[in-house]
Amino acid sequence: MEGFEVTKGATNDISVLYLKGYLDAHTAPELENALQKLMDEQNYKIVVNFSELNYISSAGLGVFMGFIEDIRKNGGDIKLSSMKPKIFRVFDLLGFPTLYDILDDEEKAVDKFTKS
């Protein structure tokens, strides 16, 4: 069965969420909970690593839309990294690259925080 996992890591003061599997309307609440937990802990600098994500629907993209404004108001950001081409295509179709930083790999996404 197609599942979904989100695990948490950190690099200095930057939280990293690793997504694995299939992100759709059924599994999006798990990501929502993980982001809400980071917000509750006042961790506003977040990198999301998509390297093991195989599928995303608009329900998954919607999670990032719902949180980004609050996170940016608190001086943070969500930077997205390591997407497979088919995942990037969905973000691209909906115009996300103009409003979100989408980086090739996690290191570049972390650097974007430390160098900005």
Partner 1 sequence: MVNKLPKTQKKYQLKIPSQSDNLALIRELIAKVASQVGFDDEEANKIELAVDEACTNVIKHAYNHNSNQIIDVLVKTDTKKITVIVSDKGLGFNPDKVKTPDLNESIKAGKKGGLGICLMRTLMDKVYFQIKPGQKNQVTMIKYIN
Min dist. Cβ of residue 107 to partner 1 (A): 26
**DSSP characters over 46-107:** EEEEEEEEEEE-HHHHHHHHHHHHHHHHTT-EEEEE---HHHHHHHHHTTGGGTS-EESSHH
The smaller minimum CB distance to partner 1, of residues 68 and 108, is found at: 68
The smaller minimum CB distance to partner 1, of residues 9 and 66, is found at: 66
The residues binding partner 1 (CB under 8 A) are: 1-2, 22, 24-26, 55, 57-59, 61-63, 65-66, 68-70, 86, 90, 93-96, 98-99
Min dist. Cβ of residue 23 to partner 1 (A): 11
Q: What amino acid occupies position 6?
A: V
The smaller minimum CB distance to partner 1, of residues 9 and 97, is found at: 97
The smaller minimum CB distance to partner 1, of residues 63 and 109, is found at: 63
Min dist. Cβ of residue 72 to partner 1 (A): 9
Rounded to an integer, what distance in angstroms lies between the CA atom of residue 63 and that of residue 58?
A: 9
Nearest-10 Cα torsion for 88, 20, 14, 62: 50
Taking alpha carbons only, the member of 74, 83, 2, 86 closest to residue 42 is 74
Min dist. Cβ of residue 17 to partner 1 (A): 17
